[in-house]
């Protein structure tokens, strides 16, 4: 374990979302003759110039393979790559950089955990608990694990406001519970789940708690110790970084007991034709040549977010969320899907007499980008008895002007569709 790198200097206290917006090249373009309003950050975030420059500089001047070459460029690439592991550890509140596994994103991390646990942890009759508000990536891998091991999948209910039913959750946790895997912030609702309370209940029966942090890492400070979880994962492309690089944090003692996810180069200790022994974490879970440039870009994104301060980003997230709810209530005919007391990052809604896809297309003509569909959360749509929702999701570059443009576009849509 190496010392974690120091955080970058904090940016000026008078930094505004408008200042941040100016640092994103794509936000300088127009759409259908209008300023681009990007409200689909929940799907993927835009990239600041600092991240784009870090990737292009690496490819132009510093590119080399990692952990393999005897030459200087390889050593430099390895050092830069491993430094990001320390940045990632600091970002999620871990103290040991060896607890950070680089993955392509949250989906791969959840597949890694479910597959590895199927090979060495889960057995017939064990119970896996998820929640009713999960994204498909936290449902399907566990269904496959159950098919392979004979474990049983249990689903903790939610309320009509889109909150976890804690009494129902607690009732499901028992002596057969082996794993709980839960979304931190629901991508289809914005609900913030009480992870620390869930962890305490799960640990009471000796179960592990896995947290899907894809929607929480970009919006709020994360401290895995305070959350009390055993594994936490997030996707770089949702937190201003490139696609193809994400973070899986796990308690080192648990990672050390898990069998590998994939086989190949760099995850081995010794290979013969008779048997193979495996490297220690995190390299045990990083087979093959990794996404080196993408990880470098992820490190630049972590620096960018850290310099702004996740506390400030969270405060702005809550302010813009409140402003959006207030403005959309004034449109008329809007029904919010998910009105939990604790929300973050997005508003999900339907409009009377309009399909979500129609709203998306009309808004596109006004330069406003939203998401329309089931958001890879079909069970959530069935629970609320809607085919799809419109979702506006926010980033540190989202301004009140963006919300005003959304509101004006929805008012136009209501006139056209009424």
pLDDT tens by residue, 213-247: 999 999 999 999 999 999 999 999 999 999 999 99
Residue 353 confidence class, pLDDT cut points 50, 70, 90: very high
Q: Is the pTM of this model over 0.85?
A: yes
Quick one: DSSP state of residue 61?
A: I
The residue behind tokens 């952990």 is: 67
What is the per-residue pLDDT for 2?
67
Give span(s): CATH 3.90.1150.10, the chain.
17-39+309-413
* CATH architecture for segment(s) 17-39+309-413: Alpha-Beta Complex (3.90)
Helix axes 49-57, 292-308, angle to 10 degrees: 150
> Encoding tokens for residue 6?
């120091």
Mean pLDDT of 136-141: 98
Cα→Cα distances 76→67, 129, 292, Å: 10, 43, 12
Dihedral sign of CA atoms 383, 384, 387, 388 in order: negative
What is the per-residue pLDDT for 70?
80
Active site residue 146: no
* Number of continuous H segments (helices) and E segments (strands) in the chain: 14, 17
CATH number of 54-306: 3.40.640.10
Point out the catalytic residue in the list 146, 229, 234, 376. Answer: 376
What is the per-residue pLDDT for 1?
59
Mean pLDDT for all residues in the chain: 96
Sequence length of the chain is 418
What is the per-residue pLDDT for 8?
95
Using one digit for the tens of pLDDT, what is the confidence trace for 308-351? 999 999 999 999 999 999 999 999 999 999 999 999 999 999 99
- pLDDT > 90 fraction of the chain, expressed in percent and rounded: 95
Task: Compute the CA torsion angle 282, 283, 287, 293 (nearest 10 deg).
Answer: 80
Mean pLDDT of 206-210: 98
Q: Is 353 left (phi over 0), alpha (psi -120 to 50) or beta?
A: left
Residue 69 confidence class, pLDDT cut points 50, 70, 90: confident
Find all residues with CB under 8 Å of 139, minimum gap 6, and list them: 130, 379
Give span(s): CATH 3.40.640.10, the chain.
54-306
> Encoding tokens for residue 408?
């004006």
Mean pLDDT of 125-146: 98
């Amino acid at each position: 374990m190496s010392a974690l790198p120091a955080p970058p200097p904090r940016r000026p206290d008078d930094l505004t979302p408008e200042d941040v917006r100016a640092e994103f090249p794509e936000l300088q373009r127009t759409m259908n003759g209008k300023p681009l309003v990007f409200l689909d950050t929940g799907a993927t975030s835009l990239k600041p110039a600092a991240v784009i420059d870090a990737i292009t500089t690496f490819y132009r001047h510093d590119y080399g393979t990692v952990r393999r070459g005897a030459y200087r460029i390889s050593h430099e690439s390895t050092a830069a790559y491993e430094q990001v592991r320390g940045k990632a550890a600091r970002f999620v509140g871990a103290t040991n950089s060896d607890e950070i596994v680089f993955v392509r994103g949250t989906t791969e991390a959840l597949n890694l955990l479910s597959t590895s646990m199927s090979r060495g942890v889960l057995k017939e009759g064990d119970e896996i608990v998820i929640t009713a508000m999960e994204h498909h990536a936290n449902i399907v891998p566990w269904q496959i694990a159950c098919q392979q091991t004979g474990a049983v999948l249990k689903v903790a209910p939610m309320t009509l406001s889109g909150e976890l039913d804690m009494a129902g959750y607690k009732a499901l946790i028992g002596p057969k519970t082996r794993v709980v895997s839960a979304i931190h912030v629901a991508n289809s609702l914005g609900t913030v789940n009480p992870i620390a309370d869930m962890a305490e209940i799960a640990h009471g029966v000796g179960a592990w708690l896995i947290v899907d942090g894809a929607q929480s890492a970009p919006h709020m400070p994360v401290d895995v110790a305070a959350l009390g979880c055993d594994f936490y994962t997030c996707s770089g492309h949702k937190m201003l970084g490139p696609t193809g690089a994400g973070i899986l944090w796990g308690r080192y003692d648990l990672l050390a007991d898990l069998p590998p996810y994939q086989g190949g180069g760099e995850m081995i200790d010794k290979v013969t034709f008779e048997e193979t022994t495996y490297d220690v974490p995190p390299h045990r879970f990083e087979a093959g040549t990794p996404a080196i440039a993408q990880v470098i870009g992820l490190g630049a994104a972590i620096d960018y977010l850290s310099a702004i301060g996740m506390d400030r980003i969270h405060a702005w997230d809550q302010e813009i969320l409140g402003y959006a709810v207030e403005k959309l209530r004034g449109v008329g005919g809007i029904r919010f899907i998910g009105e939990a007391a604790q929300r973050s990052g997005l508003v999900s809604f339907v409009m009377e007499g309009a399909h979500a896809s129609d709203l998306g297309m009309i808004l596109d003509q006004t330069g406003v980008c939203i998401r329309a569909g089931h958001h890879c959360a079909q069970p959530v749509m069935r629970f609320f008895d809607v085919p799809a929702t419109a979702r506006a999701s926010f980033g540190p570059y989202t301004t009140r002007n963006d919300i005003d443009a959304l509101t004006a576009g929805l008012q136009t849509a209501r006139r056209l569709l009424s």
